[in-house]
C-alpha cells in the first residue's frame, strides 16, 4: 500500500507525463516519509553522456533529470542537482567534459523538490560553490523539509539540507566572471520556482537560452489551485510565469525534465547534421501555453468536485 503511494508520489514529482492524464489523475494519499525513496530514482538516474548544447552551455546528466553547466575561464555556474544519488554522476559529467568541479562558483536550483535539488548538498560540498536560491526555496533547503504552501507538501520527500550563501531577488543577474545568468521567479509548481536565462555564443552565432522551471499543476489531496488558503497567490504566480516565458528572449528551451523540451530528440537531430536542432524560438511560448492548458484542466477538475 505504502509502496503504491510512494510510486504515485514519485511519478507526480516528475512532470514528464502528458497534461491531460496528469491533470485527471487522482491525487495520492500522503506518503509515509519514514520510508526512504525511491522506486523510480534508478530510472531517472540512468546515465546520460554529457554533451554541449550550445557554446558554453552543457547538459551534464542524467537521462531523466537535467543538470546544466555554464562555463567561463573565470569559473562556472551549475543549475540543479537532480537526485541525491545523481550528484556523483553530475560531478563526473563535469569532469568528463574537461572542467574542474572546484571551478564551479555558483549552484542554482529550479525548485526545491527531491528530484531537482536532492543532489545540491553533495555538489556544494564537493565544489565549494555558493548556493544561491529563491527565498522560499532557501527556507526549504536550509532544513531539507517541506512547507505547507508547497502544492505537493503531502508527499514531499525530505532532501539533504544545504548552506545557502545568499537569497536571490527576481530578475537578478547572477555573475561569475563574464557569465551573466538572469533569475526569473516563475512560481506556481512551487512558490519558489525559478527559471534562468543567458546568452551563449558559438562561432558566428549567439542564442538566448532559457532553462524554464517545471510548470505542472500537481498537488496533494488537500491542495486547491482555486480558492485555497495554503498558497493564495498560486494563480497569480502561474500567470506571471507565463508572461515571463512569453516575453523573455528565447532561442533554446531547456527544462528540468528534459522530455518537456525534446532535448534528446533535438540532440539526435543535431548529431544527424542539423546544426540548429536546439534552436526553436517558439518553444518558450509553447511551454507557457501547455502550462496554461494543464492548469485550466486542473481548475475544471476542482470545479467539478472530482478528486
From 71-79, 99-107, 113-121, 269-277, give the range in contact with Zn ion by CB under 5 A. 113-121
Toward Zn ion, which CB reaches closer, 114 or 198?
A: 114
Residue 192 CB: number of other CB atoms within 10 A? 29
Toward Zn ion, which CB reaches closer, 15 or 301?
A: 15
Toward Zn ion, which CB reaches closer, 71 or 214?
A: 214
The answer to the question of residue 105 lying near Zn ion (CB under 5 A) is: no
Instruction: Kindly provide the residue ranges of all beta strands, DSSP E only, lying in 29-103, ordered along the sequence.
Output: 51-54, 57-59, 68-70, 76-79
From 107-115, 172-180, 264-272, 283-291, give the range in contact with Zn ion by CB under 5 A. 107-115
Toward Zn ion, which CB reaches closer, 197 or 216?
A: 216
Dig out the grid coordinates for 94 from the structure.
Answer: 563535469
171 CB contacts (<8 Å, ≥6 apart)? 182, 183, 184, 185
d(CA 238, CA 259): 21
61, 76, 113, 244: which one contacts Zn ion (CB under 5 A)? 113
From 49-57, 109-117, 257-265, 288-296, give the range in contact with Zn ion by CB under 5 A. 109-117
Compute the least distance from the CB of residue 112 to Zn ion, in Å. 9
Q: With the C-alpha atoms ordered 245, 116, 306, 223, is the resulting torsion angle positive or negative?
A: negative
Compute the least distance from the CB of residue 208 to Zn ion, in Å. 25
Compute the least distance from the CB of residue 70 to Zn ion, in Å. 22
Compute the least distance from the CB of residue 163 to Zn ion, in Å. 22
19 CB contacts (<8 Å, ≥6 apart)? 290, 293, 294, 297
Cis amide linkage into residue 62, ω under 30° from 0 = yes
Strand 76-79 versus strand 104-108 pairing type? parallel
d(CA 31, CA 34): 9
The number of CA neighbours under 13 Å toward the Cβ of 65 is 31
Query: Which has the closest alpha carbon to 25: 302, 259, 305, 307?
Result: 307
Toward Zn ion, which CB reaches closer, 40 or 207?
A: 40
Compute the least distance from the CB of residue 192 to Zn ion, in Å. 11
Toward Zn ion, which CB reaches closer, 94 or 162?
A: 162
Per CB under 5 A, contacts with Zn ion among 33-92 are none
Compute the least distance from the CB of residue 127 to Zn ion, in Å. 23
Number of residues that bind Zn ion (CB under 5 A): 1
Compute the least distance from the CB of residue 20 to Zn ion, in Å. 19
Q: Which residues bind Zn ion (CB under 5 A)?
A: 113
Amino acid at each position: 500500500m505504502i509502496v503504491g503511494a510512494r510510486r504515485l508520489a514519485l511519478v507526480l514529482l516528475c512532470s514528464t507525463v502528458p497534461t491531460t492524464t496528469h491533470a485527471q489523475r487522482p491525487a495520492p494519499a500522503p506518503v509515509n516519509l519514514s520510508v526512504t525513496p525511491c522506486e523510480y530514482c534508478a530510472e531517472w538516474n540512468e546515465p546520460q553522456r554529457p554533451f554541449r548544447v550550445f557554446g558554453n552551455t552543457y547538459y551534464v546528466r542524467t537521462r531523466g533529470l537535467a543538470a546544466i553547466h555554464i562555463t567561463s575561464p573565470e569559473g562556472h555556474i551549475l543549475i540543479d542537482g537532480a537526485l541525491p544519488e545523481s550528484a556523483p554522476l553530475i560531478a563526473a559529467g563535469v569532469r568528463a567534459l574537461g572542467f574542474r568541479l572546484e571551478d564551479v562558483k555558483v549552484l542554482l536550483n529550479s525548485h526545491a523538490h527531491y528530484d531537482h535539488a536532492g543532489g545540491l548538498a553533495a555538489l556544494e560540498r564537493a565544489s565549494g560553490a555558493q548556493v544561491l536560491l529563491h527565498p522560499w526555496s532557501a527556507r526549504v533547503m536550509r532544513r531539507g523539509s517541506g512547507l505547507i504552501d508547497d502544492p505537493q507538501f503531502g508527499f514531499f520527500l525530505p532532501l539533504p539540507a544545504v548552506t545557502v550563501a545568499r537569497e536571490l531577488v527576481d530578475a537578478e543577474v547572477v555573475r561569475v566572471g563574464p557569465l551573466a545568468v538572469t533569475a526569473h521567479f516563475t512560481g506556481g509548481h512551487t512558490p519558489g520556482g525559478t527559471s534562468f536565462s543567458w546568452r551563449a555564443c558559438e562561432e558566428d552565432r549567439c542564442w538566448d537560452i532559457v532553462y524554464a522551471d517545471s510548470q505542472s499543476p500537481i498537488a496533494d489531496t488537500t491542495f486547491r489551485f482555486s480558492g485555497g488558503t495554503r498558497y493564495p497567490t498560486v494563480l497569480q504566480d502561474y500567470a506571471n510565469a507565463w508572461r515571463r516565458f512569453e516575453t523573455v528572449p528565447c532561442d533554446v528551451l531547456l527544462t528540468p525534465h528534459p522530455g518537456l523540451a525534446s532535448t534528446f530528440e533535438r540532440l539526435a537531430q543535431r548529431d544527424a547534421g542539423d546544426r540548429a536542432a536546439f534552436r526553436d524560438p517558439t518553444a518558450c511560448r509553447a511551454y507557457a501555453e501547455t502550462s496554461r492548458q494543464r492548469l485550466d484542466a486542473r481548475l475544471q477538475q476542482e470545479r467539478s468536485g472530482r478528486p
